[in-house]
Amino acid sequence: MSRNTKEFNRIADRFAEEYKEQRLALEQCLQSRINDDINFVCQRQKSAYLEGIAQLFCKKEYDAGVKCQKSAGEKWASDCFKENVAFGQCTDRVLKQMYVYNLEHNQKNPTAN
């Protein structure tokens, strides 16, 4: 029995398949930069992985944020605070649930130790 909902696991199965290359690239990059500050390394790989989360799990929040930011112009940070927070909360929730999903499905990088 999963700790995640059936719907989440269904989408996570799709995500795991469609974004497998991005996940492996991110894992390999992070392993190669193990002693570096995580906030400053592997930006391209993190962006590709998070794009998948945005498109499959947080599309509503992502689209609302993009729409708001386009209309707000240079004032996007203040005018779109609510939308940006909602998207951040969604991705945070999904990443936590993906951690559980990966534990339950034993998703490991085959090249990892």
pTM of this prediction?
A: 0.81
Summarised one tens digit per residue, pLDDT across range 12-66 is 999 999 999 999 999 898 888 878 887 788 899 999 999 999 999 999 999 999 9
Tell me phi and psi for residue 39, to 5 degrees. Answer: -70, -15
pLDDT tier, 110 (very low <50, low <70, confident <90, very high otherwise): low
pLDDT at 111 over 70: no
Instruction: Write down the pLDDT at residue 4.
Output: 93
